[in-house]
Amino acid sequence: MHDAAPHWPELSYPAWRDTAATLQLWTQIVGKIRLSLTPWLNHGWQVPLYVTARGLGTSPIPVGHEILELEFDFIAHQLLVRTSRGDEWALPLEAQSVAAFYRRVMECLDGLGIRAAINEMPNEVPDPIPFSQDDTHKTYDAAAAHRFWRALVQVDRVFKLFRSSFLGKASPVHFFWGSFDLAVTRFSGKPAPAHPGGVPGLPDGVTREAYSHEVSSAGFWPGSDAYPHPAFYSYAYPEPPGFRDRPVSPGAHFDKTLGEFLLPYETVRHAASPDALLLDFLNTTYVAAADAGGWDRAALECSLGIPAQPRPVPA
């Protein structure tokens, strides 16, 4: 397969800031539809989106005895809605307000006989505006959205390789529409102290359930007004003593304000081997959390997975 586009595309947050803000809110609408129809799964794993061969999708959502799927297609630039009854509907992704996008998606579901009552207030964004009233965010740069998705494609495959080297409980690689980031999380198997809550735009009950057990979590976000740079991150909850002082990959550092290790996307993009540098960051920050937190690494770890080869186990 030949792809003339760069494997790790340029991502300048200021250059696509308005599109990113609009797209985050569009993904929240779609994500909240999944949230409203899917039984709760531990740590909120029933709510994210997933990287697909064309964009970001919900995966199957149960609707009675049928299935509903929604997918952002960043090649044809449309939102696709499909059901197991054979229904198909497409909404062009183009410059349109969040209010218009929300109205059209909900009208589509109504036409399909699907009732999905969602909370219209966005999560984890500053100065939230109810979806049906938001005529402020209305920018869509198709080329920028495509570059963002192409970056997610690269990150998703490396994260999935990293995930293969852990025998303990680990999350899928999934895209959280609230914080607008792709993440993967490992668990020590031990309960964690109750999270204090207080995350802006996120109910305390959701936060406490998400962090009910010790984690080492890593992810990628494309930037925000508060931190206008695409970056990889890694943190531990609860943060064990000495975690932030552990050695990690060259180019990474611990940000005391954010409380996590950061590795700039541009550093990875320009590395001689972006995959190797990103894997090293994921591994060294995990080791920092596991060693400082006293995880049973011998019982939890294995070698990286190899296609079509079962993991060897003692006879």
Q: Where are the chain's structural domains? A: 13-140, 143-300
Using an 8 Å Cβ cutoff, are 28 and 179 in contact?
no
Tell me the backbone φ, ψ of residue 65, rounded to 5 degrees.
Answer: -100, 15
pLDDT beyond 50 at 192: yes
Percent of the chain surpassing pLDDT 70: 98
How many angstroms separate the Cα of 231 from the Cα of each of 152, 175, 182, 225? 12, 15, 11, 13
Q: Is the pLDDT of residue 4 over 90?
A: no
pLDDT in the model for residue 296: 98
Q: Is 50 helix (H, G, I), strand (E, B) or coil?
A: strand
What confidence tens digit (pLDDT) does each residue in 291-304 have?
Answer: 999 999 999 999 99
Q: Say if residue 67's pLDDT is above 60.
A: yes
Count of H-run helices and E-run strands, the chain: 7, 12
pLDDT for the residue numbered 141:
98
The position carrying tokens 């999934």 is 174
Residue 298 to residues 78, 167, 220, 239, 294, Cα–Cα distance (Å): 46, 10, 27, 21, 11
The runs of H, that is alpha helices, within the chain are 13-37, 98-111, 142-163, 204-210, 265-269, 274-293, 297-300
Band of the pLDDT at 5, cuts 50, 70, 90?
A: very low
Q: What secondary structure does DSSP assign to 210-230, as a single string? A: HTSEEEEEEEEE---SSS-S-
pLDDT tens digits, residue range 223-276? Answer: 999 999 999 999 999 999 999 999 999 999 999 999 999 999 999 999 999 999
Q: How far apart are CA 76 and CA 57, in angstroms?
A: 14
Q: Which pTM does this prediction carry?
A: 0.96
Taking the C-alpha atoms of residue 315 and residue 309, their distance in angstroms, rounded to an integer, is 16
Q: What is the pLDDT of residue 3?
A: 44
List, in sequence order, every beta strand (DSSP E) within 66-124. Answer: 66-73, 78-83, 88-92
> Which DSSP category does 194 fall into?
P
Name the least confident of 147-151, 232-236, 310-314: 310-314
CB 122 within 8 A of CB 201: yes
CA separation for the pair 78, 89 (Å, rounded): 10
Quote the distance between the C-alpha of residue 221 and its chain's center. Answer: 8
- Token reading at 311: 């993991």
pLDDT, tens digit, 9 for 90 and up, residues 14-46 = 999 999 999 999 999 999 999 999 999 999 999
